[in-house]
Structure 1
Amino acid sequence: MPGSRIAQAYDALAERWLDHSFDPANGMQQHRRALSFLEQKPGAWALNVGCGCNTRFNAPMRERGLEIEGIDISAQMVALARQADPAVVLHHADACDWQPARAYRFITAWDSIWHVPLAAQRPLMLKLMGALEDGGVMIFSAGGLDEPDEHVDAAMGPEVCYSTLGIPGLLATIADAGCVCRHLEYDQHPEQHVFLVVQRLPVAGA
């Protein structure tokens, strides 16, 4: 499914994720767990991939002294996010095409990477994990299947793509990116929703 169709779907759905109408606890405990792996480093940056318009993750990131940058394929999501928190640096772009301009101490991709077509998912994950500083941490959610899978679902109204590399594929990608998995959890069991916390290892000899 082309990224333009995902963008159109989330333009139409954006207001479902406004701060006053969305569950404020969604993903918060998981993000605090991920952030706990970080050492404090003033002036470091965080990147929110598929940031949407909800700002609930901004406070815990700022508590760790992080400046925040966000990217989303939906123009409406970016516009609403800019209104909600003007201090965040925002990009309206497809994460698959966008190139990071800096290294990040923390990256979150909560319920977003799974909308990337399966063929593009591994390259995107390698790019994002490659943008982590040494010791940097990334949290992301995925479909907790044993094998790769890709399908289209219209449960929210517009059709959107969902894909996953499967847990073996995710773990292999993490290792290939020079990172280690610090935490993997089926946090909504029996739903096949997992979140992973990964940390970039120092380059040998650096």
Structure 2
Amino acid sequence: MKPKQIGLAYDSIIHLWQREDFNRNNGIEAHKKALSFVKHKGAALDIGCGCTGRFIDLLQGEGFLMTGLDVSSEMLALAKQRHPDVAFIHADICEYTLENKYDLITAWDSIWHIPLRHQKAVLTKIIDSLNDGGVFIFSFGGTTEEGEHEDDFMGPTVYYSSLGTSGFLSLFIELGCHIRHLEFDQYPELHTYLIVEK
């Protein structure tokens, strides 16, 4: 499943993020943990920013100049309504060239939708786009081995992939990053997040 198909799938379920019972605290504590490692609060990028704007709100409140990127046009339309002052990019992160440098990049519940064969290249591109000392936080499926699967839990069929916990750690060590925090934050579910510093 290509990222553009993921975007179309998310276009059809934006109502899930507009419900009154949507947990706007999801991922906030993890991002506060990431902020504890940040040395400079300049530019920040939210990859797979979606429509809620909760991370944009948090990071703007900390003084960051925000940019959001998403493959779903419907998600971005809502995001622009909520944050008309923020620059948004409608793009597939696998194909898009990140031309700017950032002090913080977040990819919460988004990178796991890109094809397994693109994981290493995309993550390398993200690290290359950080300033020295920049911080990257992202969530992933904390599986033992790398793998990929599809499910229709949210409605439409959606694709997921993971390098596996050890695979992600090995890649970031190879890229010269410092591992700052790893947490299975919804254990026993495999939802996991990692904070690395360039």
Cα distance in structure 2, aligned partners of 1:20 and 1:54:
12
SS in structure 1 at match of 2:197: strand
**CA 1:19–1:108 in 2, change beyond 3 Å: closer, same or farther?**
farther
Cα distance in structure 2, aligned partners of 1:21 and 1:55:
16
Corresponding residue to 2:73 among 66, 72, 75: 75
Give the CA RMSD over aligned residues.
Answer: 1.2
Say yes or no: does 1:176 pair with 2:152: no
Query: Contact 2:40 / 2:103 at 8 angstroms: preserved in 1?
Result: no
Question: In structure 2, what is the equivalent of residue 204 of structure 1?
Answer: none
Question: In structure 2, what is the equivalent of residue 29 of structure 1?
Answer: 29
SS in structure 1 at match of 2:124: helix
Deviations 1:83-123 (A, max 9, x none): 01111110011011111121000000000000001001111
Say yes or no: does 1:98 pair with 2:96: yes
Question: In structure 1, what is the equivalent of residue 163 of structure 2?
Answer: 165
**CA 1:85–1:20 in 2, change beyond 3 Å: closer, same or farther?**
farther
Question: In structure 2, what is the equivalent of residue 203 of structure 1?
Answer: none
Note the 1:102-141 alignment, pairs <5 A. 102-141=100-139
Deviation, 1:175, is 1.6
Deviation, 1:172, is 1.3
Deviation, 1:167, is 0.9
Corresponding residue to 2:149 among 148, 151, 174: 151
SS in structure 2 at match of 1:195: strand
Question: In structure 2, what is the equivalent of residue 8 of structure 1?
Answer: 8
Query: Contact 2:102 / 2:131 at 8 angstroms: preserved in 1?
Result: yes
Deviation, 1:3, is 1.8
Q: TM-score, normalised by structure 1?
A: 0.92
Deviation, 1:4, is 2.3
Question: In structure 2, what is the equivalent of residue 54 of structure 1?
Answer: 52
Query: Contact 1:141 / 1:194 at 8 angstroms: preserved in 2?
Result: yes
Q: Identify the range of structure 1 (19-28 vs 69-78) with the bigger mean alpha-carbon deviation.
A: 19-28
Question: In structure 1, what is the equivalent of residue 61 of structure 2?
Answer: 63
Amino acid at match of 1:55: G
Identity %: 45
Query: Contact 1:114 / 1:143 at 8 angstroms: preserved in 2?
Result: yes
Amino acid at match of 1:132: L
Query: Contact 1:40 / 1:65 at 8 angstroms: preserved in 2?
Result: no
Cα distance in structure 1, aligned partners of 2:70 and 2:111:
11
SS in structure 1 at match of 2:134: strand
Cα distance in structure 2, aligned partners of 1:80 and 1:71:
13
Q: TM-score, normalised by structure 2?
A: 0.96
Cα distance in structure 2, aligned partners of 1:127 and 1:94:
13
Q: Can you give the 5+ residue segments of structure 2 that lack an aligned partner in the other structure?
A: none
Q: Can you give the 5+ residue segments of structure 1 that lack an aligned partner in the other structure?
A: 201-206
Deviation, 1:176, is 2.4
